[in-house]
Structure 1
Amino acid sequence: MQHLDISIVVPLLNEEESLPELVSWISKVMTEKGYLYEVILVDDGSTDRSWEVIKEIQKENLYVKGISFLRNYGKSAALHSGFQVVQGDVVITMDADLQDSPDEIPDLYRMIMEENYDLVSGWKKKRYDPITKTVPTKIFNAATRKMSGIELHDFNCGLKAYKRDVVKNIEVYGEMHRYIPVIAKWVGFKNIGEKVVQHRARQYGVTKFGLSRFMNGFLDLLSISFVSRFKKKPMHFFGTFGVLSFIVGFGFMAYLILDKMYRSYMMLPIQREVVEQPLFFLAITAIIIGTQLFLAGFLAELIALNTPNRNDYKVKDRI
C-alpha cells in the first residue's frame, strides 16, 4: 500500500457543475507541492448527474475515489464514511461548491505536520453570505465557544485539517459535523488550532442549508454537550437530579406531617388537613419526578451498554 501524505474528503449533494473544476484545482495544488494524495468524493444521494461526473473524473484521475449513498443521509454520514477509508497522514475536509479554496491545503498540512496540531479549523473571517446567514452564525459560534470552552470563531467551516488518528477515533453521526472539534476534544485531542481562510462566492447551484439548521444546531449543541459528559455515565445526570427532587419532595412531606403531629400533640388548632395544602401536591410531584428520573438513569445505563451501531449506511456503489 502506497504511503499517502494527504486524504481530502469532499461530501457533496447535487454539485455536478463544480466537481470537475474542484478536482482539477486540487490536483494542480497537490502536483505543485509534490504531495501523494487521494480525493474521496462522497455523493450524499444526489439527484443530478453528480455520481456520473465522479465516475468520469475517476477514469482520468486515479487519485480520485468515490462513495455514493443510496439516498440522502446528511453531511455527517458522508464525512463518517469518508473518514473510514482515508489513508493519508493528514485528512482535509472541504465543501464541493468551490467556496473553499484548495490553495489553503498546504498551510493546513504544515500546521498539522510541523506545528503538531491535532485539528485545524478554517475561519472564514470575510464572508460572502447574506446577513440572514452571517448573524445567526455569529450567535451560534458564540454559544458553542461558551459551552465547549474551545476558542474557535467558525465551528461550522467545512475546511478543516486533522491528524489521521483524530478521524479514526471520533464518531460523527446525526448532524454532529458542526461539532467535530467538540467531539475531538471530548475524545482527548485537545491541540486545536485555527486558520483564517478564504471564503469564495458560490459559482454554481444554490446553498443546501436553510435557517432551520441554526435551530437544529443549537439543539445538537445541547445534545453533544450532554453526550460528551454523560454518555458513559447517564445515571450521574438523571440520578443526581432524581435524588435531589426526591429529597426536596420528601422534606416537604415530612414537614407537613410533623407539623400536624406537633399541632395535635400541643392541641393547637389545625387550619387545614395535610392533603388540602398546596405544599402537599408540590411534595408529591417532586417525589414522583425524582423517582422517574432515577429510573430513567437505570434505563439509560442499560441502553448505553447495548447501543447498536449508529453509522450503518447503505452504500450504493464504490469506485
Structure 2
Amino acid sequence: MSQQTAAGTGPLGRLDEVKLRSRPWAATLILVGGLVALALGIAVSVSFGAADIQLPVVWNAIFHFNPDITDHQIIRELRLPRVLGGVMIGASFAVAGAVMQGMTRNPLADSGLMGINSGAGFALALCFAFMPNLPFMSLILYSFVGAGAGAAIVYGVGSLAKGGLTPARLVLAGAALSALLSALSEGVALYYKIGQDLAFWYAGGIAGTKWFQLKIMFPWVFAAVLGAIALSRSITMLSLGDDVAKGLGQRTGLVKLAGALIVLVLAGSSVSVVGAVGFIGLIIPHLTRYLVGVDYRWIIPCSAVLGSLLVVLADLAARTIIPQHETPLGAVLALIGVPFFLYLARKERREL
C-alpha cells in the first residue's frame, strides 16, 4: 500500500492528485465574481421588460415598497419572483448535474438526459388530467415520485444490456425513455384536453413563477444544496472510482443513495416550477471543473452560482431575442446545450 501511495496509484495517492489538480483560488474568484455578476444580472433583469423601469425605482420597490405605485407592483408581484425563481432553478439543475456526474463518473449525466425531468413531467401530466385541483405542494411531491421512477427505469434498462451499465447505454436509455414519456404526456394532454395547461411545461419558462411557489420550493432546494455540499468530499472520492472510495473508507452505497435523493429533490422541485428545461446540469459542471479542478467541495458551490447566473442571463435573452414576444427559456438553453452535448459525445467516442 505504501509503495502504491508513493507512486501515486493507491487511494491516498489519487486523493493527493485531486488536491494538486484543484484550484481553490479560481473557485474563490468564481464565487465572489459570480455573486457580483448575479446581483447585477438580477437588477438588470428586474428592470427590463415590456415597461422599462429605472434601477432606482427597482431599489425603492424592493426596500420601500408602495402598493399604490404601478411600477412597484410590477416589480414585486411579477418580475422579482420570476428572477428569484430562475436563481433557484439554475442552482438546482446545475448542482444536480454535478452530483450525478461525480457519482456515476459519466460526463454526459444530466437530469434532462437521464429521464428524471421527463419522469417528473409525466407525473405532472397525470396530475393535471386526474387531479386538476391539487395544491402546489402536492405537485412537487408527485414530481419527486415521477423523477424517481424515471431514473429507476433508465438505470434498470441500461443495466440489462450485456456488459453492464456504461455511459453510452445510460444516455441511450435516458433518451429513449424521455421520448416515450414526452409522447405519453402529449397523448394525455390531447385526450383530456389539458394541452394549454401543459404547454408551459413543454416549452420551459419562469414567466409565471409566483411567490407561493418559491416559498414552498425554497426549503427543499436549500436543504438539498446544503446536503450536496456536505456530501461533496465523498462525491470527490466516488469520482475517482468505487474501489478508490472504498479504500478510503467510504460507504459507497450510502453515499450514492443520499446523492440520488438530493438529485431527485432538486430536479423534481425545479421541473414542477419551470418545466422541461435541460442542459443546465450538463454545461455548468463541465465548465466549473475546467475552471476550478476536480474537487467537488469547490465544484458544487461554484456550479450553484454559475447555474443561477446562466438561467438569469438566458431568461433575459429570451425576452430580448424577439422584441414584444418571449422566446421559451428551454429553447434558449437548447441553443447552447445541444452543440455542447454533441461536442462531449464526440469527445467520449474518440476516447473509447
TM-score (norm 1): 0.26
Higher strand share: 1
Which protein has greater RCO, CA pairs closer than 8 Å, 6+ apart?
Answer: 2
Task: Compare the two structures and name the one with the higher helix fraction.
Answer: 2
